[in-house]
Structure 1
């Protein structure tokens, strides 16, 4: 027995090999390419507005460029090339003539049916012997027959006959597939023979060396380096290190913007020929400003000093571009204007990394500064400016005219929309102010902003009446979206403010995948529907940011802080979706109560613990909520004593003890009232984590100009 290795000389199997390899690469890439992107920015609705900023074409162009990058053009062309190769291989498979090895079959050689009996086989063999025996037949030259071919044919007939009649030969055929026993076999290699022919070996080695020694290490190294050079927030590790070094405990929004300019991403974005070109022109614009821009304070003195102290020319240009973007300064240079809108999305990504660093340190002021810097970047508003600049067509002059020149505090969008319609129109429209159409456009956008209004906030322990030391506490916030300018806002249904514990077997509710079902039916007229009708989470509209060259879905951050020490008490819970619809089919607000929960462990000692609740939206200025909440932790022994007292009830009237009690008290037999259980009202100070009823309680909405909370 021998083994024969042969190559695919006719190239009949090579297309199958190439088709398989290209299919293993192309098909998974096709799936990843066609798989719909379920990111928040790709599935959220949009705020309806026809407003276009002065450089809207630049902003839209950068958005399209970013979307093209997300589509991964390289992957698309790789898939296209893969299908071209697969098509070519399929064509070669169809047109290439293939030689199939013939299986040795005694019935086919004897040309007899498989159902023939042994007697029929013997008779048929005798007839073939008379016809094909070498002594009885002569080679036919017309058929290219020779003496050897005639003899070989009769030998095959004899082997086939013995394979069907001789016991030993038949066993060989059954076991090895041939009457002579185990045969030598051939292994085909799906490579054309020209690859291994003499003289081509050096080229084959060169190809293998390039693939295994250069390309493969390069691909693996690129993948590994790419995973190690980026943080979880998708910024460079070097940038995160720079932000870490820029961190300070009392950092304001302006300080955060200065820290963001240290990102290494800007070097690849503005490096090379762009470099520091135009840096001086940008600085003159933002430091001096025109007469119309003097009302629009862009840089605070500390931020101005920070810019002037920078020695790194590229970083100084980046910081100048960021301030020019926030101040909406026209740079009168197409390239500089393009760069101005290009650096803002990068700074927004870097700000997420800085927020993570600030959370690790746990100081409240930098955390709030990071969240508010996100608001400033998305809305293109400098820190401390009027929130009215978020509305279309509003300029610093118009905002000042609406607020009044002597006003010390800025109006929020909510406060502006609460002004009577006639007076509001008089303040905002007129010569050098808004036209009627521009005013209608601004009001239309304001009425679509998702302003989240907290209705109730409290602490609880699931399934318990009291909060005891070390227990797992839930901080529950009941809120609803009330867009600015909403009229006829309905009163809150008290049933919606309840927080029902899920049933024992309701794992989805226990794990927070859906809200628990209420035991009570909604009050008459409540059109919000039950929780089961709204299990699909609802996304708010994309942030209205006409100056940001990215789409951004709003995010809300809920956390508890220690107001006295200025430290983070409970890390933020971030949510991006709601459990109930915000608007109905007609585009009107539903005012549905939304429930948000965060869990933490109660303090180890009984007492009253006062926290400051912060609810911050990262996309809109002046829509943050802040209030004090008190966590009451009861002593374990006291809680058990109250529970034991509540379990003691008066004796039943039909029992002997009940009759004796009636005679003793001189009362008539009848229903004996039971002692009411001690309950805690949700709005009282005894409630674990309720709002204080003091007159001087902090308001729900906090503007950017309020710095007391920091």
Structure 2
């Protein structure tokens, strides 16, 4: 019966491997997460660099430096850095460590006899004879560098190896237990010295284990779980989400104003941890000071408050979506871009010029209110309309206006994949073809045929695969906002009467058409065509006819870049097939793996599973066999009838 014992790491050979393994399990995933965050922050997008500096630009730069430092020296990054240092130290320790002589060896008879694994029985016997003469204790007279005990041990090993390959009983022990002597004692290795487990150090080890598994590990797990439960999937505090939801119910969506939205944000639970000394009234005062572009005593507090607002409003937008009121969604987005561009709530109608770098309150009295009109008038008139200080500042504002990402809709329609029309009660997709360019460019009109896309098998299986593609849209020109922010649009589909049908869905990517200053009128070949698709959550109407929907593209960072479209959905029955009933009789269902099967599944029709070749062959054989049997029986019956008829005729004659 095998013995079971514990072996300890007295020579400190095992614990480096043990620690290295545990460290790798945690360190490698942590490194991948840290690397993904680092590369995400390093993404670059071409955008216009404004030379205008806000009055609190020095404080904004301090905040950005602090933010970069905080993002660099995160707990995760510090752990990864020191973790790899420890990892390198363990590797170095393992490489310089010499294995002890009493290390466990695997019994390999071929290795002990210095034979290849393909050796024949004759070669085994011949080799054993030579080695036994060399190491037999009675025949060895000159030991050389070996002791008498080493020679005897070597002779015992080669004898066991020979028997393991030739003797039946010994060979059976070797096959079953891996050793010619049968079962060996089982040792359980502990990667600690014996004194730490069984000696005076035992209480220390037990205490450390108890502290780690009873206190430290539960604390980390509880903190992790608490952080998950504390925030919603949109990244806002659950108390903040509850506040937004309650306020919408209490005030009713249609009666919530822009000022109310700013007030809701000031009461967010996030500010209790970011700025615990400030009350909601203090937060509201800082927000209004930012919107009015007024300095405050502590600019860093104001910047900290402002930097958090877009994320809070994105969460508010998602909560408001449940109430299906497009006007409330529009107000939330307008407040969001007012915060980014530092435009007063009372001046939202003038935000298109107010957002330009260097613009002042003079825009409130200007006769020009649109960017498209501003870039067409002389520079002197533009300077007066914007209230800029000098010509250089005016030129900077005009250049910023010319670099705004204007979106142009090339086509918009509702479509059911795989169908020529929109049938009743079908899954509909809104398809928008658009381009993004400078406001100074005039985009030519496209025909529907030039924008048609080929419905490949991949596109039919995943109709949204080519939607929202391309690089991320440029960073917004916002000198008063402390954090870099990509521009984007929210797409909303509404029915008449301010009823939300679908959305908002964010449009974040697209290739920008870059046109030289000399060329303002371009051709279709110069245009970068982008695609955005939205799968409606509702089915098409069950009645035939034309139904109009309002599609809004609301920019989340700029004023004056919104679009509103009227897109009709014409519901009609599919064209009747020209095939006769005989042509389509007994046609099997389309197979699920085929192109026809994919289209049938999207229409809700039945499809057949792909049959194995063997099943098909068996069915064909059965059909052929049944046909042959039937025909043969009929022939036999016919022949018997003819014979009986001939006999009767003969008797009559």
Q: TM-score, normalised by structure 1?
A: 0.69
The structure-2 alpha-carbon separation of the partners of 1:2 and 1:329, relative to structure 1 and needing over 3 Å to count, comes to: same
Equivalent pair of 2:174/2:181 in contact (CA under 8 Å): no
Partner of 1:470: 425
Partner of 2:605: none
Match of 2:491 among 558, 563, 567: 558
**Aligned-pair distance for 1:243?**
1.1
**Structure 1 residues 184-205: Cα deviation after superposition (integer angstroms, max 9, x where no partner):** 3434322222311322222111
Partner of 1:615: 553
Distance 2:146 2:431 in 1: 97
**Structure 1 residues 607-638: Cα deviation after superposition (integer angstroms, max 9, x where no partner):** 4433333221011112212244444434x4xx
Distance 1:453 1:370 in 2: 24
1:626 matched to 2:538:
no
Match of 1:441 among 392, 396, 412: 396
**Aligned-pair distance for 1:599?**
3.4
Partner of 1:93: 94
* 1:229-240 alignment, distance < 5 Å: 229-240=230-241
Equivalent pair of 2:135/2:154 in contact (CA under 8 Å): no
Distance 1:624 1:436 in 2: 29
Greater helix content = 2
Equivalent pair of 2:437/2:514 in contact (CA under 8 Å): no
Backbone CA RMSD of aligned residues: 3.8
**Aligned-pair distance for 1:158?**
6.5
Distance 1:3 1:317 in 2: 71
- Report how many aligned residue pairs link the two structures: 556
The structure-2 alpha-carbon separation of the partners of 1:563 and 1:197, relative to structure 1 and needing over 3 Å to count, comes to: same
The structure-2 alpha-carbon separation of the partners of 1:426 and 1:56, relative to structure 1 and needing over 3 Å to count, comes to: closer
Equivalent pair of 1:467/1:632 in contact (CA under 8 Å): yes
* 1:156-175 alignment, distance < 5 Å: 157=155, 160-161=158-159, 164=162, 167=167, 170-171=170-171, 174-175=174-175
Partner of 1:343: 305
Distance 2:108 2:287 in 1: 84
**Aligned-pair distance for 1:593?**
4.5
**Aligned-pair distance for 1:236?**
0.6
Distance 1:163 1:510 in 2: 64
Partner of 2:81: 80
The structure-2 alpha-carbon separation of the partners of 1:5 and 1:384, relative to structure 1 and needing over 3 Å to count, comes to: same
* 1:173-192 alignment, distance < 5 Å: 174-175=174-175, 180-192=181-193
* 1:391-406 alignment, distance < 5 Å: 391-397=356-362, 399-400=363-364, 403-404=366-367
Distance 2:330 2:156 in 1: 97
Equivalent pair of 1:163/1:169 in contact (CA under 8 Å): no
Distance 1:400 1:472 in 2: 47
Match of 1:599 among 524, 531, 535: 535
Partner of 1:366: 328
Partner of 2:377: 420
Partner of 1:493: 446
Match of 2:280 among 315, 329, 335: 315
Gaps of 5+ in 2: 521-525, 580-653
Partner of 1:218: 219
Gaps of 5+ in 1: 277-313, 405-409, 516-534, 648-710
Partner of 2:195: 194
**Aligned-pair distance for 1:75?**
1.4
Equivalent pair of 2:34/2:76 in contact (CA under 8 Å): yes
**Aligned-pair distance for 1:570?**
2.9
Q: TM-score, normalised by structure 2?
A: 0.75
Partner of 1:375: 337
The structure-2 alpha-carbon separation of the partners of 1:160 and 1:514, relative to structure 1 and needing over 3 Å to count, comes to: closer
Distance 2:462 2:115 in 1: 75
Distance 2:130 2:146 in 1: 29
Equivalent pair of 1:49/1:441 in contact (CA under 8 Å): yes
Q: Secondary structure at the match of 1:543?
A: coil
**Aligned-pair distance for 1:69?**
3.9
